[in-house]
Amino acid sequence: MHDFRSDTVTRPTPAMRQAMAEAEVGDDVLEVDPTVAKLQEEAAQLFGREAALFVPSGSMGNQIAARLHARSGEEVALGDGSHSFDWEMGALAALSGLQARPLPAPRGRVDVEAARAALRPAPAGHRPACRLLIVENTHNFHGGAVVPLDHLQALRSVCRERDAALHLDGARLWNAAAATGTPLPAYGAVADSLMVCLSKGLCAPVGSLLIGDRELVERARHVRKLFGGGMRQVGVLAAPARIALAEMRGRLGDDHARAARLAAGLQRLSGVTLPLGAPDTNIVFAAFAGRPASELVAALERNQVRAIATGPATIRFVTHHGVGDEGVDAALAALESALAA
């Protein structure tokens, strides 16, 4: 199967399996797992920050950050279509009593003036305080779009001006860095907290990191326990995560090249358009005129290709370590014959 459903389907590499088997472990809730400690130090250093915390999922990392930066009854501003708004089970409200305020964010770039208007250091009239802006980079449902560093810096200044925090949902920040050459410490410097995923393009089986200053990460450890995310001999997961950080970032350019080739091939098929344009990174959305996406997904499946219908006429393809050039060829050939039938 050529599985384009998501980069979350990537499997741990043989080197990761080996490292899991040999990992030194301890009880990480007691903070004595040496492998977790190494992972956290290495991650903090990569971003030029003081500390990092290993968390079971990206969603938990984002939710811990929200809990730390805002209080129950307050508002959190974020871009429309963002993961923390649409894809985290309403956790801002359910776990932390926060109200989400979606802002226009073309290509994932949260509108600077809209952010200035939404962020509010204290309640005003009957409006609650809004002390946190969450920015997603790359932006998943805006087609893996890269939010450029200068745009993040502009949002950072607005947050400073409005006494609000900036949290970067960097589930695929590695892809943004690979596509633009932006050094990771530049991202570290622009946000109060960052969440990065190890379990997507970097192929680790499980886990994400929440990164920031020492004080924030200490408080994050308590919230992680509150949310049920304290883990015991979790060095077995930190070991492959260390390999992900050290060895897997360099290959993301291959995923981007395959996404570009897939997009170019899709564009040549009649009745197919790319509503979000050519991909910046590893995510391609294709729109199909005159043929339901569900039918095309079924045709792909019969040809050993998997992808997700994200709407009645759109399909999302994500490239990753588990799909090669032959996967791209198979997807294009299957769609071409399905559309011709």
Our separate counts of H helices and E strands in the chain read 14, 13
Q: Using the rule CB under 6 A, is 140 a contact of ligand PLP?
A: yes
Q: Judge whether 160 and 119 are in contact, CB under 8 Å.
A: no
Q: For residues 79 and 188, which CB has a smaller minimum distance to ligand PLP in the complex?
A: 79
Smaller CB distance to ligand PLP: residue 136 or 280? 136
83 touching ligand PLP, by CB under 6 A: yes
Out of 75, 169, 192, 280, the only residue in the binding site for ligand PLP (CB under 6 A) is 169
Measured from each CB, the residue nearest to ligand PLP is 58
Residue in the structure block whose two tokens are 């001999």: 233
Q: Among residues 18, 45, 57, 310, which is the contact residue for ligand PLP, using CB under 6 A?
A: 57
Stretch binding ligand PLP (CB under 6 A), from 51-59, 71-79, 239-247, 302-310: 51-59
Residue 270: phi, psi to the nearest 5? Answer: -80, 140
- Give the CB-side neighbour count of residue 30, counting CA atoms within 13 A: 7
Minimum distance between the CB of residue 124 and ligand PLP, rounded to whole angstroms? Answer: 30
Strand order in 130-136's β-sheet? 51-55, 208-212, 193-197, 165-170, 130-136, 75-79, 99-103
Residue 171 interacting with ligand PLP (CB under 6 A): yes
Is 208 a binding residue for ligand PLP by CB under 6 A? The answer is yes
197 binds ligand PLP per the rule CB under 6 A: yes
Is the Cβ of residue 83 or residue 162 nearer to ligand PLP in the bound state? 83
Q: How far is the CB of 75 from ligand PLP (least distance, A)?
A: 20
Dihedral over alpha carbons 48, 52, 56, 58 (to 10 degrees): -40
Q: Which residue has 């959190």 as its token pair?
A: 76
We find the least distance from the C-beta atom of residue 276 to ligand PLP, in angstroms, to be 15
Q: What is the DSSP letter of 141?
A: G
